[in-house]
Amino acid sequence: MQVFAPAKINLCLKILGRRDDGFHEIETFIAPISLYDEIRIDKGDAKEGIEFRCDDPSVPKGDENLAVRAAKAFFAATKIDPAVSIKLKKKIPHGAGLGGGSSDAASVLLALNELFETKLPREALAKMAEAIGSDVPFFVFQSAAICKARGEVVTPLKLQERLSILLFKPDFAVPTAWAYSRWQDSREIPGVSYAAQQFAGQTFINNLERPVFEKFVFLAQLKMWLLDQPEVAATLMSGSGSTVFAILRSNVDALLIVERAKGELDPELWTCACQTI
């Protein structure tokens, strides 16, 4: 069975405070986008259990990999003997704030539910997903959604319109736990805009920009550069970074913006033109 695991962007991310369990209480509006990891899942040999392979050698194996943890959680919950082969082809970059690992995990849960004909409702899979990672329940619902608590309380919500997106990621990652740990004591950089932006009936704001921009100043420079481009309607860091995305106006040539960004900012920038789905 071939499945496609979409990336996501946070159109809005508000941190409401620190919880007693060490996580942060958040409210975020997340949208899946048309950038995908590709996963091949087949029933395997019971002697081999869960076999996992990936074309990217930097992707962790075993219990450190969210897709493997998802498979283990599924087999433990259903009492089915683990016998599956998972082949992952990575397209979503790591440490990018695009939810690649979480999406892989959710896609594995959905695929195994179909492959083994267990007919578990989406809500049961989302409950299973909670222990794997905060973003995993969101991806189970395969829809844009408002996510609350630490991210596991998911309310699917349709986007008012499809948005054209241009992703920019420099050659470094931002650790999510680090970004959240710095949120409370961080300060705004003078001259950098953190204010909410409005476009197409949507509010764009990310409370994690403050701690991340303080250390990774290039991301602040990238955001401010994008705000100056006439083709860009709004721009924001996704999740904890390091991806910054631009919402494009109608009938815009994304390639021209990419060429400009690489010429004026960083020739090694990873970019991807896509849209919300």
Q: How many C-beta atoms surround the C-beta of residue 7 within 10 A?
A: 29
Question: Can you give the length of the chain in residues?
Answer: 277
Neighbours of 234 (CB within 10 A): 22
Burial of 247 (C-beta count, 10 Å sphere; 0-12/13-18/19+)? buried
127 is catalytic: no
CA–CA gap between residue 6 and residue 174 (Å, rounded): 20
Catalytic member of 37, 104, 135, 169: 135
- For 154, other C-beta atoms within 10 Å of its C-beta total 23
**What Å distances lie between residue 169 and 87, 156, 192, CA to CA?**
25, 27, 19
Peptide bond into 193 cis (omega under 30): no
Residues 6 or more apart in contact with residue 214 via CB below 8 angstroms? 182, 186, 187, 189
* Catalytic site residue from 8, 90, 169, 223: 8
Which amino acid belongs to residue 15?
I
User: Quick check: is 79 catalytic?
Assistant: no
DSSP of 125-192: HHHHHHTT-TTHHHHHTTS-EEEEETTTEEEE---SS--EEEEEE-S----HHHHHHHTTT--PPTT-
Residues forming the active site = 8, 135
